[in-house]
Amino acid sequence: MKPLHFDVETAGFYGAYWPCTGGSDCAVIAMIGDDPEDRLARSAAKWLCTRGVNVLTMSPAKKDYGHHNYPLERIETAISWLKANGSRKIGIAGASTTGTLALTAASMFPDITLTIAITPSDFVWQGFMQGKRDGCREWPVEGESLFSYRGKPLPYMPFCYKHPDYWHCIAAESKRTGDMVNSLKLFNDSEAAHPIEPQEYIPIENIRGRLLLIGAEDDVLWNTAKYIRRMEARLLEPPHGCEVEAAVYAHGTHFVFPEGMLKTMLPVGSALFVKLAFQAARKYPKECCQTRKNIGCAGPWRNGKERSEMRWNGMPMAMWAVFAKSFQTQLMAALGYDADTAKQIAKTAKPKYREIIAKLPEFEKGDHFQMNIVNCAMIGAFILSMPERPDVERLTDYYAKSMMTAPMRWFCRKSGKSKFTEKDIVGMKATAALKAADRNPYSWNMEFYEYPDGSGYEGRFTKCGICVLMKELGLYDLTPALCRLDYTMSETGGVTDFVRQYTLASGGPYCDCGYKKKGFVKAGTEAEY
């Protein structure tokens, strides 16, 4: 495949255009590789083209492997060329420093409606050069930012180490840890010495369309997990114009490319290369590989139809089969709609439900909260399909009656029989240790507490996937109606008394789900006869 080449002197940007077979009106600017036609760039283009999009590979400049005052006008010019040549939708993808570049460009140019940032930072930092200088392979450039626009460097966090200490810090940490490159200390020390100023953060609130953030906890180039979580927190509150999906994995290193893309780049020995590069990949090879496979099956790597079908098959389809009739029936019984209106609401709700499901990430193995978010997606779809929005009281009644079908009551009674067993306690502790919401915002983080008097235990939730999804659907004020189902399910189980003081949805510091044994009498306090 021979691309169309662009030079700065003639086209205003440095890049190569790779049209996909069969044509497409969608294009992705891929900032992967040191040159738009090197092995990494060609492989990324090949892999992305199989996803049905045209690809424009770009890089800072020919024979310049640093990143310093990269003119963002080049991205702007490339966007104009893509639009003039038939691209109706334009995305941008980058990894590492170019992941930061992708975020920055997307925040500035509204024509970008898909942004994929792999292991990015959430702030702009000082520019740097690569090559050979005084025995160093990399050094900071004084007075320059990573990026510039219209001749001016963007505000940036300066490094606390100057040349040659900058490289000496990286080299010493790399030798100590056994990593190919370890610059974590450089970034941590720099942020400690220069707390990031507001103008140095990337204005991600301006990004439009879909935003995918990918990183791993064991990244040793910088703390991308922390940076991604900061971005998630910033995007929890409107106003912003993007639909964010963040995936932070426990294992994956700095090379969290989709497995298929990595194998296209390195057909032989891709896993070996990652192991040689990073100590974490040597210690957790299977986990790192699984992360790359998960990434390849998620997000925008699939087309819309594939993604929708992948999400729909399995539990979401089964839940609709079990509960749809009940949800429709209770529209009449609990909310007073006539039969025709109830039928139309259910008809409208099903494709809306599938749409919501399609946007959700994969739940990792060991995360048992998928059912909760699927239930939330269903009730959300029905609410959004109703001609009149119910209040919290009426929705509480409707949701409880819709959910408590005969199979659900059986499930509650069966679950009740295993409550407080050793297996139950072990499972609760495992869930608490998982902290799945750190990687999947639609899951939950929980702390587990056993009551000292032996009367039961409490799950204390600090992150709630239902709160996140309901907020995204514009239904956050109705969330307390869903919280009340905990009482109903506990009562149906027949072995616990449910107790609660706070919920996140009502403004509490956490959600406490307390389960006390029915009829519990503390040892030594039995009644005398």
Among the candidates 254, 276, 301, a domain finishes at 301
Is 289 found in the same domain as 243?
yes
Among the candidates 272, 301, 330, a domain finishes at 301
Helix then strand then coil, in percent of the chain rounded to 5, is: 45, 20, 35
- Token pair in block for residue 15: 């890049």
Is 377 found in the same domain as 439?
yes
Fill in the DSSP letter of residue 362: P
Q: Mean pLDDT for each consecutive 10-residue tract of the chain (529 residues)?
A: 88 93 89 86 86 89 76 96 93 94 96 94 96 94 96 97 97 95 96 96 93 93 94 80 84 84 67 79 87 68 46 72 93 96 95 86 78 94 96 96 91 90 92 88 93 94 94 94 94 94 93 92 50
Please spell the DSSP secondary structure of 23-84, one letter per residue: --SEEEEEE-SSSTTSHHHHHHHHHHHTTT-EEEEE-SBTTB-SBSSEETHHHHHHHHHHHH
Is 152 found in the same domain as 59?
yes
* CA 144 to chain centroid: 31
Residue type (1 letter), 127: G
Is 78 found in the same domain as 21?
yes
For residue 236, count CB atoms less than 10 angstroms from its CB and return exposed for 0-12, middle for 13-18, buried for 19 or more: middle
SS (H, E, C) 260-271: HHHHHHCCCCHH
Among the candidates 301, 323, 356, a domain finishes at 301
Reading across the β-sheet that carries 112-118, which strands appear in turn? 4-6, 15-18, 54-58, 26-31, 89-95, 112-118, 208-216, 241-249
Give the Å distances, CA to CA, from 459 to 265, 417, 432, 469, 480.
45, 18, 8, 21, 18
> Domain for residue 165, yes or no?
no
pLDDT at site 65: 66
Residue 13 and residue 74 in contact, taking contact as beta carbons nearer than 8 Å:
yes
The residue written with tokens 């390849």 in the block is 296
Residue 278 and residue 253 in contact, taking contact as beta carbons nearer than 8 Å:
yes
Is 252 found in the same domain as 341?
no
For residue 414, count CB atoms less than 10 angstroms from its CB and return exposed for 0-12, middle for 13-18, buried for 19 or more: exposed
Is 331 found in the same domain as 277?
no
Is 349 found in the same domain as 468?
yes
Residue 133 phi/psi, 5° resolution?
-155, 115
> Domain for residue 188, yes or no?
no
CATH number at residue 39: 3.40.50.1820
Q: How many angstroms separate the CA atoms of 310 and 115, rounded?
A: 21
> Domain for residue 137, yes or no?
no
State which residues form the domain around 204: 4-125+143-157+200-301
Residue 267 and residue 233 in contact, taking contact as beta carbons nearer than 8 Å:
no
- Token pair in block for residue 384: 């959004």
pLDDT per residue as tens digits for the range 381-422: 999 999 999 999 999 999 999 999 988 898 899 888 899 999
**CB-side neighbour CA atoms (13 Å) of 455:** 16
pLDDT per residue as tens digits for the range 473-499: 999 999 999 999 999 999 999 999 999
Is 500 found in the same domain as 412?
yes
Q: Which residues contact 197 (CB under 8 A, 6 or more apart)?
A: 155, 157
Number of structural domains, the chain? Answer: 2
Residue type (1 letter), 370: Q
For residue 103, count CB atoms less than 10 angstroms from its CB and return exposed for 0-12, middle for 13-18, buried for 19 or more: buried
Fill in the DSSP letter of residue 280: H
0.75 exceeded by the pTM? no
Is 453 found in the same domain as 326?
yes
Is 287 found in the same domain as 382?
no
